[in-house]
A and B are shown apart, each in its own frame.
Chain A
Amino acid sequence: DQQVKQNSPSLSVQEGRISILNCDYTNSMFDYFLWYKKYPAEGPTFLISISSIKDKNEDGRFTVFLNKSAKHLSLHIVPSQPGDSAVYFCAAENSGGSNYKLTFGKGTLLTVNP
């Protein structure tokens, strides 16, 4: 039972254009969402997060949107750069729980072509 789903295994975009990565979740107890980026041979690194009390959070070229009614979030990267090419993981948690266990999706491989 996958509680966090990233239905697109891969995405290819042109440099300078927008990259949109999508994520759906099923557990209504999730109230905090994060995106991680992973380069080959490295561990995942935190990128951006959003609390369920917000519907948008922006950090430079990265914006995360949350639609609670649809249980859907998306990560927008504008403009995309070749260095953004990586696997992006969506993660979610119930921050009111007694332990901070993140549930991850399977990831989306983003390729930004020069």
Chain B
Amino acid sequence: DSGVTQTPKHLITATGQRVTLRCSPRSGDLSVYWYQQSLDQGLQFLIQYYNGEERAKGNILERFSAQQFPDLHSELNLSSLELGDSALYFCASSSRTAGELFFGEGSRLTVL
């Protein structure tokens, strides 16, 4: 158990819809990261938050947004969903030491 909690574990929705994925980081970790893993792809970095502020952005689509709340949990919002958005979405947290990230179990999104 990494200590990082993601909900929901599975989500099935239709094209054009909007979903929210939630992440609770390990106790004490201030940084939260979101990664996307699509079929045959590695882990693609989407966005990082540190103590409530956006710190780095990767290949995140404009239809996607995220935020980190004062209690340090984070949400990833995916809107106007397309078939190609079907993927595993991982949240990870870190204490800012030596780059080691602790990953949640992921949220599997299926867009039909």
Contacts and interface: CB of A to CB of B under 8 A. Distances in A.
State which size class the interface on B falls in.
Answer: 20 to 34
Question: Most chain-A Cβ atoms within 10 A of its Cβ — which of B31, B42, B58, B106?
Answer: B42
Contacts of A101: 33, 45, 48, 56, 58
A102 B98 contact: no
Which has the most chain A C-beta neighbours within 10 Å: B43, B45, B56, B102?
A: B43
A104 B43 contact: yes
Contacts of A107: 42
Given A34-B100, A43-B105, A45-B2, A99 B45 contact: no
Given A101-B56, A106-B40, A44 B45 contact: no
Interface in A18-54: 32, 34, 36, 41-46, 49
Given A43-B2, A44-B43, A89-B43, A100 B102 contact: no
Contacts of B31: 99-100
A89 B42 contact: yes
Interface string A93-114: 1010011111111110000000
A43 B99 contact: no
